[in-house]
Structure 1
Amino acid sequence: MDVRRLRLLLELSRLGSMHEVAAELGLSTSAVSAQLAALAREVGTPLLEPDGRRVRLTPAGRRLADHAVTILAAVDAARLDLDPGADPAGTVRVGGFATAMVRSLLPVVQELASTHPAVRVLLHEYEPLEAFDLLAHDDLDLALVYDYDLSPLAPTLDLVVRPLWSAPWGVAVRVDGQGDGPIDLATLADSTWIVNSRHTADEEALRTLASLAGFTPRVEHRIDSLDLVAELVAGGAGSALLPLGRDFAGVRVREVAGQGTRLRAYAVARRGRDAWPPLRLLLDRLAHPVTDTLADTLADQVERHEPARDD
């Protein structure tokens, strides 16, 4: 159904005359008549009937004109929503890992609540593989994901990837009188290892580091929560990669001697969607944060993965 013809029908219901509709819209009366006749053929029922020397809407025509009000309003709203020059408005669905949400996203959301209240951001916690799948199925508008420099992302051509930040990771070992300096990973060749249960990047980084040290790591535990990983390390269940500079009870995170690794965070959107005003606004704010102090404070309070909940 041609929305331009619906607009003509709505104008006719308002003005009552094809001549007035033609004058209002800068068309000829014959063009208006031909378009309304084509609309009647589209819907399969007469929309106009004679009324002396004029015409009036049939009952079906009046019902369609009532529908046209809603339809045309929705079309206008969609055009405004998709107009790259329009003020940002709408709901942006964001999925990603907890640290990126806290360090990068939450300060932006708090800022936009004041500066752009028409932009609403919905948050969902996902690991990168989950977020990529949801992005591909259009169940997310923006994914906050990570990789390691030893296990880089391989995004498809239909994705736009924007780097956010990076952070060094080291090896977590028990606090049992060992030193604080860099550790030769070969000394842990006989250790068991703990890796992520929902993403493969840290295991791939670990296997690369171990290969450089001349051994193959024996992975026994797959855990999502960094707090639980640290508890297992402190209890002697194995070693693991954890972020340097973080405090974990009973655990010391040490730099890897020689070749280490860094976690890298990214914002990812489907190519072409990043021009949508509210998503473009969010991407620009993520790339140029204005509240670094708040972001760093919040980042100190969470892990890369949220601890498992009891409820």
Structure 2
Amino acid sequence: MDPRRLRLLLELSRLGSMHEVAAELGTTTSSVSQGIAALAREVGTPLVEPDGRRVRLTPAGHRLAEHAGTILAAVDAARLDLDPAAEPAGILRVAGFATAIRRSLLPVIEDLARSRPGVEVRVHEHEPPEAFDLLARDAVDLALTYDYNVAPASWSRDHEVTPLWEMDWGLGVPSHEHRAPFATYADRDWIVNSRNTADEEVLRMLASMAGFAPRVVHRIDSLELVDDLVVAGRGIALLPRGRASRRGVKVLPLTDPRVRLRAYAVTRRGRRSWPPLRAVVERLAGH
């Protein structure tokens, strides 16, 4: 059914005459009559009947007019929701890794609660491969991901990528140890991420440059659990510098080469005109 014809019927139910409907909508009585007749053909039943020199709605016309109010309100809401100039409102689904959620997204959510209360952000904690899969399936609207400067990500042509921030990474060892050439760690057990291979790729590259193949023993997602294993002497790992690690863990700098994690906000190409998504990405980029 054509929404324009539904509006004619709705106005007829309110105003009672085609002449008044024409005056209200800035058209002609003939156009109103033709639109109602076309709508009756679309639904397959008469919608108006003669009432002296005027017309009145049939029982089917009254029922359809009630539906028309709901339908047209939904159409107007959809247009407003998708209007790039409209006030942001709607549910935004974000998949991201824990550090970016804490560092970048939570402050944005707090800001939106004050300045854009119509935007509801729903958070899903995922590593980049999982987040990219969700983004590709339209299960989320925004992915917060990362790569390393020495192991850059390969972006799809379908992605729009906004750099957010960078963080130095180093070598997490028990606090009593001192900085030493990377090759001296050849006989140690190593801990890598269980849900993303990026840090393992960096580790294997650094180890290859130092002349050894690392013995990866543990695969752990939680940085806090990595800290626990390091303190317990069960392995060493690449960890972010500047983070409040558990007491007993020291993060030594890596300088040759320097290793930096780089965080990004990633969307599907062409989606950022949606006001809630644009509002969140702009705030993320500003933090």
Task: State the TM-score, normalized to the length of structure 1.
Answer: 0.87
Which residue identity is paired with 1:198? Answer: R
Q: Within 1, Cα distance between the matches of 2:102 and 2:254?
A: 27
Letter in 2 for 1:52: G
> Is the 1:10–1:65 contact (alpha carbons within 8 Å) kept by the matching residues of 2?
yes
1:194-214 C-alpha deviation (Å, 9 max, x unpaired): 111111111111111112222
1:59: how far off?
A: 0.9
| Mapping of residues 141-156 of structure 1, within 5 Å | 141-156=141-156
Q: CA deviation at 1:77?
A: 0.9
Distance of 1:80 and 1:92 partners within structure 2: 16
Structure 1 position 117 matched with structure 2 position 112: no
* Counterpart pick for 2:272 among 271, 274, 284: 274
Q: What is the DSSP-based 3-state SS (H/G/I as helix, E as strand, rest coil) of the residue aligned with 1:275? A: coil
Most deviating of 258-267 and 211-220: 211-220
**Identical aligned pairs, as a percentage?**
66
| CA RMSD, Structure 1 to Structure 2 (Å) | 1.5
Q: Where does 1:104-253 land on structure 2 (aligned, <5 Å)?
A: 104-176=104-176, 178-179=177-178, 181=179, 183-246=180-243, 247-253=245-251
| Matching residue of 1:90 | 90
Task: Return the alpha-carbon distance in structure 2 between the equivalents of residues 39 and 184 of structure 1.
Answer: 80
SS of structure 1 residue aligned to 2:262: strand
Structure 2: distance between partners of 1:25 and 1:232: 73
Distance 2:5 2:85 in 1: 27
Q: Which moved more, 1:68-77 or 1:49-58?
A: 49-58
Give the secondary structure class of the aligned counterpart of 1:172: strand
Residue matched to 1:19: 19
Tell me how far 1:257 sits from its aligned partner. 4.5
SS in 1 for 2:260: strand
Give the letter aligned to residue 188 of structure 2: S
Q: Following superposition of structure 1 onto structure 2, how do residues 6-85 of structure 1 map, counting pairs within 5 Å?
A: 6-85=6-85
Where has structure 1 moved over 6 Å in runs of 4 or more?
none
Report the count of equivalent residues: 286
**Structure 1 189/257 Cα, relative in aligned 2: closer, same or farther at 3 Å?**
farther
SS in 2 for 1:274: coil
- Whichever residue aligns with residue 262 of structure 1, its letter is R
> 1:287 corresponds to which residue?
285
In structure 1, give the amino acid aligned to 2:68.
Answer: A
Aligned to 1:300: none
C-alpha displacement of 1:170: 0.8
1:173 touches 1:240 (CA, 8 Å); kept in 2? yes
Q: Map Cα deviations across residues 44-93 of structure 1 (whole Å, 9 max, x no partner).
A: 22211222222211111111100111111111111111111111122222
Task: For residue 35 of structure 1, report the CA deviation from its aligned partner.
Answer: 1.6
- The residue type paired with residue 150 of structure 1 is V
For structure 2, the 5+ residue unaligned runs are: none
Take 2:279 and 2:41, find their aligned partners in 1: how far apart are those partners? Answer: 44
Does the 8 Å contact 1:150/1:204 carry over to 2?
no
Aligned to 1:309: none
Aligned partner of residue 272 in structure 2, secondary structure:
helix
Give the residue type in structure 2 aligned to 1:14.
Answer: R
Shift of 1:33: 1.7
For 2:45 and 2:137, how far apart are their aligned partners in 1? 39
